[in-house]
Amino acid sequence: MLPLIDIRVVEFCNVAAGPFCGMLLADMGADVIKVEKPGGDDLRHWPPVSEGFSENFASVNRNKRSIVLDLKSNSDVLIAQRLCAKADVIIENNRPGAMQRLGLGYDRLKDVNPKLIYCSISAFGQSGPSADSGGFDLTIQAISGIMSVTGDETGVPIKCGVPVSDFAAGLYGAYAVAAALLKRNVTEKGEYIDVSMLGASLGISALQTSEFFGTGKNAPPMGSRHPRNAPYQAFKAKDRYFVMAAGNDKLWASVCLVVGRMDLMNMHDYATPAARAQNQKSLAILLEQCFATELAETWIHRFTKAGVPCAPINTFGDALSHPQVEHSGWIQPMTLPNGVETQTFASPVKFDGDESCLRRMPPALNQHYDEIIDEL
């Protein structure tokens, strides 16, 4: 019994933030009906495409049903309205005002369905000077300040390789919907939820925004380094880079012991966490002189044995084959609608120790039209 097993969600979403939000709710047991435009979600055309079906689309649309509705058609809008009248939750990530113009806005639907929880995900929110502006993960990473701290001080601006603005907004949306459903149990009333990619991006930047509030200074890009801990970064060994994090004096003593440089503990520049953080560039030079004598694997083994957190810098292929990932059962087989057998990273959340299961494979375009219409 998943926690949202009796909840019906209607999703009017495209590409990433909204579909990810819908999938998180679907993973929790909700019946998510994905309303797609003719031609389908744009993500259906993103590579890798396996015999005509996008694995990118599959990665954020499992456990859903698909129906195609042309919302420029009055008859299809009526079907959409009937779906919404029976829904517990609506998720949409269109430009602000678009759903209202279609007759599918919250102000109209709440009169028909007073318990409806309606979540809008957009670039900047539903009101304000930028509300009418569109946005993509790249532009929101730039506007939010995330790109200003990504990379190092010598390079060009770099966005995070994972679309954090998209997926943070989806996470905030799913979290807010779950909270609103709990509140509805008490009030028996629905409500409107406004989630912006900009707000979500700043929300997960709490350490950087608090640094600005506390000092009046912007956090600089630091590569893999940490502003308040050292040694805490990627280091070059004889063959490749690895990371090591010694965030307190006890771990620092272990580092000095492993590298055979106990004299560093008595040096003024490295005697305290604050001093090491302030002088971490010179500290890194000293440590890399030691690390250059051995392979990264050797240093990882030595630090692990000494209890110092460290790790190789994995590719996603490496990460997905990690023994802990296998133990957790996060990678599950998935059959695409065209019969292609593949795999997916399922929900990492467990309830009562049970692994997540795929109740529904990612849908073919309009796969469930007849089924959904029959239910209406």
Specify whether 291 is located in the same domain as 334. Answer: no
CATH number at residue 293: 3.30.1540.10
**pLDDT band at 135; cut points 50, 70, 90:** very high
Q: Which of 307, 318, 340 is nearest to 240 (CA)?
A: 318
CA distance 291 to 294: 6
- What tens digit of pLDDT does each residue of 330-350 get? 999 999 999 999 999 999 998
Look up the domain containing 101 and give its range.
8-204+326-375
* 274 within some domain: yes
**pLDDT band at 248; cut points 50, 70, 90:** very high
Specify whether 258 is located in the same domain as 351. Answer: no
**pLDDT band at 119; cut points 50, 70, 90:** very high
Q: Which of 233, 327, 328 is nearest to 287 (CA)?
A: 233
Sign of the Cα torsion 89, 90, 96, 101 reads negative
Specify whether 268 is located in the same domain as 124. Answer: no
Specify whether 119 is located in the same domain as 18. Answer: yes
> Catalytic residue numbers?
166
* 2 within some domain: no
CA distance 303 to 161: 28
Strand partners, 68: 36
CATH number at residue 167: 3.40.50.10540
Specify whether 39 is located in the same domain as 104. Answer: yes
Count of beta carbons in the 10 Å neighbourhood of residue 249 = 13
- What tens digit of pLDDT does each residue of 285-337 get? 999 999 999 999 999 999 999 999 999 999 999 999 999 999 999 999 999 99
**pLDDT band at 123; cut points 50, 70, 90:** very high
| Model pLDDT, residue 154 | 81
* 227 within some domain: no
Specify whether 337 is located in the same domain as 306. Answer: no
| Model pLDDT, residue 192 | 98
The domain boundary, picked from 269, 288, 312, lies at: 312
Q: Quick check: 355 pLDDT over 80?
A: no
Beta carbons within 8 Å of 100's beta carbon, 6+ residues apart? 107, 108
Residue 17, both tokens: 């933030």
Specify whether 129 is located in the same domain as 41. Answer: yes
Number of domains in the chain: 2
Strand partners, 11: 34, 91
Quote the radius of gyration of the chain (alpha carbons, Å).
25
Task: Report which residue type is found at 89.
Answer: V
Residue 16, both tokens: 């990433």
Task: Report which residue type is found at 300.
Answer: I
| Model pLDDT, residue 208 | 96
* 255 within some domain: yes
Count of beta carbons in the 10 Å neighbourhood of residue 305 = 10
| Model pLDDT, residue 335 | 96
CB-facing half-sphere around the CA of 167: CA atoms within 13 A: 8
Identify the residue whose tokens are 């009418």.
132
* 215 within some domain: no
**What is the model's pTM?**
0.94
**pLDDT band at 158; cut points 50, 70, 90:** very high
Specify whether 29 is located in the same domain as 82. Answer: yes
CA distance 171 to 25: 10
- What tens digit of pLDDT does each residue of 20-33 get? 999 999 999 999 99
Strand partners, 36: 68
Strand partners, 245: 232
